[in-house]
Amino acid sequence: MKKIKLHGRGIIPGKVQGEAIVTSQPISFFGGLDPERGTIIERGHELKGINVTGKILIFPRGKGSTVGSYVIYSMKKKGTAPAAIINIETEPIIAAGCVIANIPLIDKLNDNPIKVIKTGDWVEVFADEGIIEVTREE
């Protein structure tokens, strides 16, 4: 097993763990994700058809309408939200959604999480301290 520790900026506190889902493409929560099922539905997205419920969702940044913040909140209420979000750099739509949904959020890591973390890795998020610990089977 290989362990990796990354440090960044904890934006929304919380401690969670789960399987990583990683994409190099931005995500729009309004129109790009089905809040009823927690599935990526955006046409042409590399994660189309993937369910993010309870996962550690890692993507560069959000995109699209400010309604995306409320979609994140809606997903949390329905039980379809990711357990945590990790961005290269978080923008206001994702930050606001994570605030109202109380989803741990980290960005500005000391290494690019999209290059360091792979889908399927086990990730522990300590957002209060801005720390991520990744465990990978080798």
Domain ranges of the chain: 2-136
User: Are the C-beta atoms of 18 and 26 separated by less than 8 Å?
Assistant: no
In three-state secondary structure terms, 3 is strand
- Catalytic residue (choose from 24, 28, 65, 69): 65
Helices (H), the chain: 68-78, 92-101, 113-116
Quote the pLDDT of residue 137. 81
pTM for this model (two decimals): 0.97
Task: Examine the residue annotation and report whether 74 is marked as an active-site residue of this protein.
Answer: no
What local confidence, expressed as pLDDT, does residue 25 receive? Answer: 98
Angle between helices 92-101 and 68-78 (to 10 degrees): 30
Mean pLDDT split into 10-residue runs, the chain, 138 residues: 96 98 97 97 97 98 94 98 98 96 98 97 97 92
Closest of 136, 137, 102, 127 to residue 7, by C-alpha = 127
Residue 69: count of CB within 10 angstroms of its CB: 22
pLDDT of residue 138: 74
Question: What pLDDT, on a 0 to 100 scale, did the predictor assign at position 68?
Answer: 95
CA 18 to chain CA centroid, nearest Å: 11
CATH number for the region 2-136 comes to 3.50.30.10
Q: Backbone phi, then psi, for 4, in 5-degree steps?
A: -130, 135
Answer whether 6's CB lies under 8 Å from 86's CB.
Answer: no
C-alpha span between 24 and 51 (Å, rounded) = 16
